[in-house]
Amino acid sequence: MFLINCPYCGERDQSEFKAGGEAHIIRPKQPTELSDDEWAEYLFMRKNIKGIQFERWNHAHGCRKWFNIIRDTSNDEIKTVYKMGESPPKL
């Protein structure tokens, strides 16, 4: 079970958090302008990397804040944690 360093609360047990999938997928500003394929790209396509992955997590049973983490999915090591809206730090 991970120990996640919430940027607002500090280190907490994984059971307090909810995973929210891949990070940095921006909702298109003008969805109606997009073709079916372009919209499908946003809607369905995820990288699902074995290795370094950027993810969104939510401190659901805590401060309720969403934030990003960088996790190595091959060994679950969390490299770093950063707030929503911040660009990912260089590793």
Residues 49, 21: contact at Cβ < 8 Å? Answer: no
Among 46, 48, 85, 87, binds other proteins (CB under 8 A): 85
- Residue 66: CB atoms within 10 Å: 15
Task: Name the E strands within the chain.
Answer: 3-6, 10-13, 18-22, 52-58, 66-72, 77-83
Q: Which does 82 bind (CB under 5 to 8 A by kind): other proteins, Zn ion, none?
A: none
Among 60, 79, 82, 88, binds other proteins (CB under 8 A): 60
Instruction: Write out the residues near other proteins by the rule CB under 8 A.
Output: 1-3, 13, 18, 20, 26-27, 30-32, 34, 36, 39-40, 42-43, 56, 58, 60, 64-66, 75-77, 84-85
